[in-house]
Structure 1
């Protein structure tokens, strides 16, 4: 885990190395300063030597300034190193998620991935900054202060050896009991982010059903759960401070009592006693800093495990050793294809699918909810890999193609497609970033989108808000169809992508596509028979099986499922709107 995380330090190794160097310089001066103070007291103040006082005072001032400089520089480089480390970690996490297959993404919830890229990375960043600075400073301060204390008076320094084990045992109990609670807290954070995400995405539904109070209560329940667990964890961590304070005051009292006797007995000078107090504070404060680091590490350990889990996840979809970089045509063949979302041959969503589609054919797909219509077409661009059998495009197994090459030749338009924040032009150019304004207008006319775009004051420069919330569902679908057409793919998949437009517009879109992309193999999944009836062939799906394949007339004459769908729509909705 540590090795995988440290690989993200990258170009910030220099800052990560320089920080401990400056810290070491700062520690050296912190150790020297009490010695100078002792000499100033013994050789200057007690003897009334003004010259010695000025000399040692000047030396103290210079050491303090240099120590301040080293401290500032170590803080600066630690901040740069930790922020850069966090930046690389977020970038690599995001890149990893981009390479995931749908099945990989299914293993993590969206809210959990967001928490891991934000809260968890921030925790790791804070821990890293503490490690390269405080975790270097504290042991050095502890070791050298203890060494100097023993050098000044070994008998008095034995007090530390009695107190330190007490502190270590207390810290061990804090770590042991706090870590499991922090693990639980971050799982609850995932739930909290999920509640927020669902609420914001579905805010129109929430308001239309007047469910604000319900959503508010749901949020408060999760938030209260975080409060209870985090408070419990922090209560355990809070024991660290009284344990430390007890140790500090115990040492101070014992050193004061015994030190006074040694001074009276002549075995310890006043300056040495003062320096002992300083080293006592340094020793115990170094332990305090160590405890702070360990508390942060307890929290960061949970975050590190969650982040490493994503970094260690391997995509189910990979290129083979020698992938193909050219898709000859848009032919599609399914050879005894089975698929399971659980990768379990006993739980198949799609069973023994066989079909052969020629380049340029228009294929309609109909079937009831849950009949695996979308599952069938998602195997073509390798959004998922088959569990059994072979899917071929252009005469080659889709697994033989370079993944990017294959997906560049397959455009998908979903029922709930997404538009991104930016202008209409910028959204359309997702299909082809080099497209001219004339190309944009041409595909928008085919998709029946140009007419409503021209009504906007800024036309094609109109800003689309997040998620496309400032356009209607039908307008969003038409923009997504235009975006897919701009890609000029060999295969176009329209997964119920005209469900929000009227039947006349639907027909005009299909007619436009037949004229514009006659060589493109087109799959049209539709709930309305009118959307697929003029297809070259229609596939009827039923419970994960291809029930029948034929033309509209053939299926209407021979297939009970198609007959039932057609008749129910004729009775319910009548003929196509003209």
Structure 2
């Protein structure tokens, strides 16, 4: 928790004034019982009306001053707390954006969402409340004890008995409640995970009639969280009545022993009333601290989770000095590359060596799990190789600035990802300053202009989150248009024609060939028909290259390629 206090730096002056105003408020509230004591002793008991009016007016002014300080202090503490939360969210989001895919896989998307939202809110709430209570309560507690002692030393012995009991009770509650709060955050992660999977996979769930089992799965996670929350709230609910009982018994004890001292002329009525108020102020301040102790464990658990995000160092970082290219725009080379996913027993790809040249189409084909997508994910450096090297324009990608590297690449992922917004905004995502003519041209090449023109508002038509109001083929074509609009030196198309019919597939490949005449095109495909015309076909099997060459060469030299082609095409199509 203390490590997050570095985010207080922009709010130092606000924090200073919060302390000042709360300090003044505390002094005002500590002074009120003394004024009341004087009014009772020297005004009411002596029948002095002018004294009552005079010191009653002082009490009113002090109360108004206390209220004003409370309002200003609360306002400033809210500004600090909300700003503090905003700054942490910004920092966490920026940190997450710098992660490689390995860090995402390690923490999990659902947990990252929880840490950026709920965990930050827990810490923010503690700050807003803490700035009030952690300044105000200690002053009231210490000041109340001092003022009570000044009124009557013997009655202070009552507080000497009650306060340790309260503190012991708080410590006992904290020892039980801290592990429960930590457990709650983990269980909240689980609920978010199940909910996210259900929302994103609703089509599959309905298609397989799994609604009942998914409801049961969510209910189990939700019940687990609920039971822990109920257990925590039961403990918290028990605090208030116990504290109130202690306060009532303390009041009875003060009145009982104070009454005896008044009857023996050892104490005045006003002093006993003031002592009673000071005792209540002290106990209320301890209750405030108790509330804080209830909030601190959960915020501490949240702070630990936030720090885990901030402390995790991305494994893929930019070098201190970027590598220099040799001037070959679009040249890609793999030199004896081997890569394994974290925790995997076997490498996903092994000893991969090949080169892709500008003006040529390099196709990668292979069975499911052969390592096709893994291989192309190494080019934009989504992962780092275990051994060997990947070169772009003659420079090792590990020696290049990630931003500069990815600016050279037009990437179309296997699963097309679209964002909420208009059609033109999604295409312009590839190049923020693209003109309307550039967007239209990219859509024409991607064979997307036909269905866009049929949409109600054309290029201004809204796309829902994830592109759920478009078909699979439409999403693929918009993803290709997004890559085309930036006119990169390297195009990477990861199985980007799988949802297209054969006619659209052929038209798109023909238009793409004209558009990318000076660029390197790397296509991953399942269809043999998509790769037959490529300048170079790389055949993968179980993470190894089984053959490299043109279609006719591979048909005679590579058995794996022959099996793939013969399983998909007729003899006439192969010929």
TM over 0.5: yes
- Whether the aligned pair in 1 keeps the contact of 2:14 and 2:80 (CA below 8 Å) is yes
- In the aligned structure 2, how far is the partner of 1:503 from the partner of 1:574? 16
Aligned to 2:173: 174
- In the other structure, the counterpart of 1:551 is 550
Match of 1:390 in 2: 389
Equivalent position of 1:320 in the other structure: 319
Equivalences for residues 116-515 of structure 1 within 5 A:
116-324=115-323, 328=327, 329-342=329-342, 347-515=346-514
Give, in angstroms, the shift of residue 185 of structure 1.
1.3
Deviates more, 1:127-136 or 1:559-568: 127-136
Can you give the 5+ residue segments of structure 2 that lack an aligned partner in the other structure?
none
CA distance in structure 2 between the aligned counterparts of 1:327 and 1:143, rounded to whole angstroms: 73
Query: Judging changes above 3 Å, is the alpha-carbon distance between structure 1 residues 115 and 236 closer, same or farther for their aligned structure 2 residues?
Result: same
C-alpha contact 1:10 1:88 (8 A) present in aligned 2: no
SS of the equivalent of 2:523 reads strand
Question: Residue 223 and residue 140 in structure 1: after superposition, are their counterparts in 2 closer, same or farther (change >3 A)?
Answer: same
Report what 1:89 is aligned to: 88
- Partner SS state of residue 471, structure 1: coil
SS at match of 1:487: coil
SS at match of 2:454: coil
Quote the Cα distance in structure 2 between the aligned partners of 1:2 and 1:425: 46
Is the 1:373–1:541 contact (alpha carbons within 8 Å) kept by the matching residues of 2? yes
How far did residue 337 of structure 1 move? 1.1
- Cα separation, 1, equivalents of 2:13 and 2:416: 45
Q: Name the CA distance, whole Å, in 2 between partners of 1:65 and 1:197.
A: 51
In 2: Cα distance, 1:10 partner to 1:530 partner: 62
Distance 1:453 1:251 in 2: 77
Q: Assess, with a 3 A threshold, how the Cα gap between structure 1 residues 326 and 152 changes in structure 2: closer, same or farther.
A: farther
> What is the alpha-carbon distance in structure 2 between the residues aligned to residue 542 and residue 6 of structure 1?
53
Specify the SS of the correspondent of 2:534: coil
C-alpha distance in structure 1 between counterparts of 2:158 and 2:89, whole Å: 47
Kindly state the Cα deviation for residue 13 of structure 1 after the two structures are TM-superposed.
Answer: 3.1
Give 1:347 shift: 3.4
Instruction: Please state how far the C-alpha of 1:207 moved relative to its aligned partner.
Output: 2.5
Check the 8 A contact 2:445/2:512 in 1, yes or no: yes
Q: 1:238 offset after TM fit, Å?
A: 3.0
Native 8 Å contact 1:415 1:498 kept in 2: no
1:98 is aligned to 97
Displacement of 1:574: 8.3
Q: Is the 8 A contact 2:123 2:302 kept in 1?
A: yes
Separation in structure 1 between the aligned mates of residue 235 and residue 180 of structure 2, nearest angstrom? 10
Deviation of 1:535 (Å):
0.8
2:559 matched residue in structure 1: 560
Displacement of 1:122 in angstroms is: 0.8
Q: CA deviation at 1:195?
A: 1.3
The whole-number CA distance in structure 2 between the counterparts of 1:207 and 1:17 is 57
Q: Structure 1 residues 191, 343: CA separation in 2 closer, same or farther (over 3 Å shift)? A: closer
In the alignment, is the contact (CA less than 8 A) between 1:358 and 1:521 conserved in 2? yes
Aligned to 1:54: 53
SS of equivalent residue, structure 1 residue 435: coil
- With over 3 angstroms needed to count, the CA separation of the structure-2 counterparts of 1:446 and 1:224, relative to structure 1, is same
Please give the TM-score of this superposition, normalised by the length of structure 2: 0.97
Distance 1:433 1:238 in 2: 54
**Aligned to 1:366, what secondary structure does the other structure show?**
strand
**Shift in CA distance, 148/519, structure 1 to aligned 2, threshold 3 Å:** same
Contact 1:325 1:402 in 2 (8 A): no
Q: What's the CA shift for 1:242? A: 3.4
1:385 counterpart SS class: coil
CA contact (8 A) 1:343 1:387 kept: no
The answer to whether the 8 A contact 2:409-2:488 is kept is yes
**Compared with structure 1, are the counterparts of its residues 327 and 308 closer, same or farther at alpha carbon in structure 2 (3 Å cutoff)?**
farther
Per-residue deviation at 1:575? Answer: 4.3
Q: CA deviation at 1:117?
A: 1.2
Q: Please, which runs of 5 or more residues in structure 1 have no aligned partner?
A: none
Deviation at 1:268, TM superposition (A): 1.1
Contact 2:427 2:485 in 1 (8 A): yes
**Residue 343 of structure 1: how far off its partner (Å):** 6.8
Secondary structure at the aligned position of 2:569 is classed as helix
Counterpart contact for 1:490–1:519, Cα < 8 Å: yes
Aligned-pair CA distance for 1:499 = 0.6
Quick check: 1:13–1:81 contact (8 Å CA) kept in 2?
A: no
Q: Which range is displaced more, 560-569 or 506-515?
A: 506-515
Q: Deviations over 1:405-446 (max 9, x none)?
A: 001111210121111111111111111111111111111111
TM superposition shift of 1:536: 0.7
Separation (CA, whole Å) in 1 of partners of 2:573 and 2:196: 41
Maintained 8 Å contact 2:323/2:396: no
3-state DSSP of counterpart to 2:431: coil
Tell me the number of residue pairs that the alignment of Structure 1 and Structure 2 aligns. 573
